[in-house]
Chains A and B, each alone.
Chain A
Amino acid sequence: MKYIVKKIITLFVALLLISIIIFVVFSVIPADASIAKLGIDATPEQIAALRAQMGLDKPLFERYFWWLANALQGNFGESFQYTGVKVTTLLARRLGNSALLSLISFIMVVIFSIPIGIFSAKRRSVVARGTMTTITQITMGIPSFFLGLLLTYLFSLVLHWFYVGQFVSPSEDFFGACAYLIFPAIAIALPKIAMTVKFLSNSIRSELHKDYVRTAYAKGSTRDGVLYKHVLKNSMVPVITFLGIIVAEIVAGSVIVEQVFSVPGIGSLLVTAITNRDYPVVEAVVLLIAFFVIVINFIVDMIYQAVDPRVKL
């Protein structure tokens, strides 16, 4: 119970710090929303007028104070780039798409990396191990956006399996949306699968040297019995933590990939909001992502405790 209270406090402190950092960063980088909106040809008078209208002429501290006061009541203000549209409305429209993309990517990581990891750990010959290592190393090294470009070229332009930009929202056609998202999900998931495979197979191999494995053989277990009944669960313990990190990376990684595949998600929203210096939107998106990552961490801790009886939180 105390653990939960502590986690919640951590959550709020982290979100507060992040929101401050974003405000400070936006006041330091050149140009603001008014210039982004009016362009470089605008007269100083026009800019000054718009700045006053947006409230950008007020001191940083004052702006932050009012933003925070509103945010605490759930009001994240209006977007600068889409005048008059509430930030929460903007987010609500796109959150579902991004969540679905992250979910599909994560499911891919789990269902592919665990069996491949086990398969890889079972290989004993030097050649097989070398091959597995080479494949995982190469896959790990490819950046997601580049993989995204390759995939769009192959499946969209050559094979015509899907068309970039023809994304339909899941509320209209859920399965259609999933089918479209499979491709960006592959781009996100593939390097993560490779990492998890490597991590899991290393974990299994190091578990195989433990004393309890010797005991399991001494009891008369078969090789598969030792692996599946004893080793696997033990080797999954560190993998759970690792998967928690992977989830955070998936969420972060989707920012670029959404852009490549023209998925209207919070990632692409973030990218345009940053170019337009639309800090209310940036604040909200980054806080949302941070909130999500911290909650995932919390869930990971819970699972960890459930799997390993030695862990007491």
Chain B
Amino acid sequence: MLLEVKDLKVEFHTAEKTSYAVRGVSFNMEKGEILGIVGESGSGKSTLGLTMMGLLPSYAKYTGQVFFDGKDLIPMTFDQLRQYKGDEISVIFQEPMTSLNPLLRIGKQVEEMFFLHAHDKDDRDNPRQVPPKAERKRKVLEMLEAVGLEHPEEVYRKYPHEMSGGQQQRAMIAMALMCEPQLLIADEPTTALDADVQDQILDLLKEINEKRGTSIILVSHDLRVIRRVCHKTLVMYKGEIVEQGTVEEIFENPKDPYTQKLIAAITDETKKNVDVEGDPALEVKDLSVFYLRKSNKLGEKATKRVICENMNFTVKKGEILGLVGKSGSGKSSISRAILGLHKDYTGDIIHYTEHPQMIFQDSAASLNPARKIGWILEEPLKIMEKRGEIKLTKKERKQRVIEMLERVEMREDHYDRYPRQLSGGQKQRVNIALALMSGSKFIIADEPVSALDVTIQEQILELLLKLQKELDLSMLFISHDKNVVERVCDRVIRMEDWQKG
């Protein structure tokens, strides 16, 4: 038995409230196992890993026992636990970019492990000599190569910002493995990465487990990730384990209703690609979008960065057209060009509907934090009144807003709330309501669910599909996530088809 967690409870005490992140969790883990912990954010899955590492903020209080290799980690002092961290238990995080020190070269950051853990593993009071410089470097280079980084000599000298997200995560893994820990905690290790890089990192984790025998705890909100890599899994919901077992058991025969819902969300029938007959809502002809980057250096001409070239597509009335592409491929620039928010383009963009609107990814940042929901939703109406398109009394305006709130499945009393008082999903509902407020029939949804938890994602997607049917909306649905796009879109087009290289 490598790990034995008994009745672990974690509470966060802040001035305003006490929240219970983990409510009495117990589980065991064998050596050499890959254990998945799945749940939405706020389920306590990440807190669990951080507790073992003593990485919780100071306002967290925890009780219970965590036996690692027979020793209870919970009552340990900072200095006792410090000797385990990185040496016996390592951790990698969601954001490799920010998790690495931006000012230190990769080689230096990995090499630091030798200085931090210069003692015998069996006898922690017995100091061990730090290996000489040449040997340290050789070992670091070997490790960089082992985690699949090409040209380790170059990587050794690189700064984090000079590498891609996938490479950064590999460097994090190299650092985590340097002292040959028994347990690696991977906290959403692929969430911030592009789809194909995700797979590579997951394969690497599997390989590490098989070749080195390192036990791994894989924390993820994504059941597909868990299914791909893990032997066993725990399903967490609101700080409790609702189900645990082998991956096969959980996927084939989920017992808990929450687990069933999670699994249903990923195995749902995807919408069939159908040709929608009818008039166009949006026509895009020979669209080329680019950025002119003014040089701030003297004597250098402005450079042109081309996002897409000669793009042609039509969104028919009542259709949801998907636009997929990797992050950074310029999907959002295209949507901005279509709505006239980005001026550097050539070609024709013809709208057949009035008031085209957009739903953004960051639901929180899109809402004015200083205004109440009611004010935010009434604003489009006020603008239309100014243009003389409609005439409403104050009461009628409020009535329309409340109708819209109900349409997006929110309550009347949300009218007087501030955005910060709403959850992420609710904020996105407000954004959807805002887009529909002016009676628009064409909407661009730019990664509308990628910042949300799986179960919330599912609800928002269902809402969008429902609204699309009820109001006969046309939609351009932009996402990097193939699964999401396939779930909602009638047809799908790809960014790569209009890009060079």
Contact = CB atoms under 8 A, between A and B. Distances in A.
Do chains A and B interact in one complex?
A: yes
Interface of A: 2-3, 5-6, 9, 210-212, 214-223, 225, 229-230, 233-234, 237, 307-310
Contacts of B113: 219-220
Nearest to B295: A2
Interface string B78-107: 110011111100110101001111111000
A212 B84 contact: no
Given A212-B100, A225-B116, A310 B159 contact: yes
Given A214-B93, A219-B85, A307 B298 contact: no
Contact of A214 (B55, B112, B298): B55
A271 B271 CA distance: 81
Contact of A234 (B54, B79, B101, B162): B101
A230 B101 contact: yes
**Pairs A-B, 6 closest by C-beta atoms:** A220-B86, A211-B98, A220-B85, A219-B86, A309-B159, A212-B101
Contacts of A5: 298
A74 to B, nearest CB: 26
Interface string B145-183: 000000000000001011000000000100100000000
A221 B101 contact: no
Contact of A219 (B54, B116, B297, B298): B116
Contacts of B275: none
Interface residues of B, number: 35
30 contacts: A2-B298, A2-B299, A2-B300, A6-B298, A211-B95, A211-B98, A212-B99, A212-B100, A212-B102, A214-B55, A214-B99, A215-B99, A215-B100, A215-B101, A218-B86, A219-B116, A220-B84, A220-B116, A222-B79, A225-B116, A230-B104, A233-B104, A234-B102, A234-B103, A308-B102, A309-B102, A309-B103, A309-B161, A310-B102, A310-B159
Contacts of A308: 102-103
B297 A3 contact: yes
Contacts of A220: 82-87, 113, 116-117
Given A5-B298, A211-B98, A220-B82, A233 B103 contact: yes
B90 A218 contact: yes
B13 to A, nearest CB: 16
Nearest to B84: A220
B226 interface: no
Nearest to A124: B58
A218 B103 contact: no
B282 interface: no
A234 B160 CA distance: 14
A3 B296 CA distance: 9
Contacts of B54: 217
Q: Is the interface of A mostly helix, strand, loop or mixed?
A: helix
B53 interface: yes
B101 A217 contact: no
Given A218-B91, A220-B86, A220-B117, 5 more contacts: A2-B298, A211-B93, A211-B99, A214-B93, A219-B86
B444 to A, nearest CB: 32
Contacts of B79: 222
Contacts of B101: 212, 215-216, 230, 234
Nearest to A236: B103
Interface of B: 53-55, 78-79, 82-87, 90-91, 93, 95, 98-104, 112-113, 116-117, 159, 161-162, 172, 175, 297-300
Contacts of B172: 215
B33 to A, nearest CB: 21
* Residue of B79, B159, B297 with most partner-chain A CB within 10 A: B297
A310 B79 CA distance: 34
A211 B99 CA distance: 5
A229 B112 contact: yes
A272 B83 CA distance: 66
A244 to B, nearest CB: 19
A80 B10 CA distance: 78
A237 B172 CA distance: 24
Contacts of A309: 102-103, 159, 161-162
A233 B102 CA distance: 10
A6 B78 CA distance: 52
Contacts of A234: 101-103
Contacts of A9: 298
Contacts of A3: 297
Contacts of A222: 79, 82
A231 to B, nearest CB: 9
Given A220-B86, A234-B103, A215 B159 contact: no
Contacts of B55: 214, 217-218
A310 B161 contact: yes
A68 B102 CA distance: 48
Contacts of A218: 53, 55, 85-86, 90-91
* Residue of B86, B98, B101, B162 with most partner-chain A CB within 10 A: B101
Nearest to B100: A212
A309 B26 CA distance: 46
A220 B114 CA distance: 11
Nearest to B117: A220
Nearest to A310: B161
B85 A217 contact: yes
Nearest to B158: A309
Contacts of B98: 210-212
A212 B99 CA distance: 4
Nearest to A210: B98
Contacts of A2: 297-300
A218 B101 CA distance: 13
B53 to A, nearest CB: 6
B297 A6 contact: yes
B46 to A, nearest CB: 11
A31 to B, nearest CB: 43
Contacts of B102: 212, 234, 308-310
Nearest to B161: A310
Nearest to B98: A211
Nearest to A209: B57
A223 B79 CA distance: 9
B147 to A, nearest CB: 16
Nearest to A4: B298
Nearest to B82: A220
Contacts of B112: 219, 221, 229
Contacts of A233: 103-104
Contacts of B298: 2, 5-6, 9
Nearest to B297: A2
A309 B159 CA distance: 7
A312 B307 CA distance: 24
B298 to A, nearest CB: 5
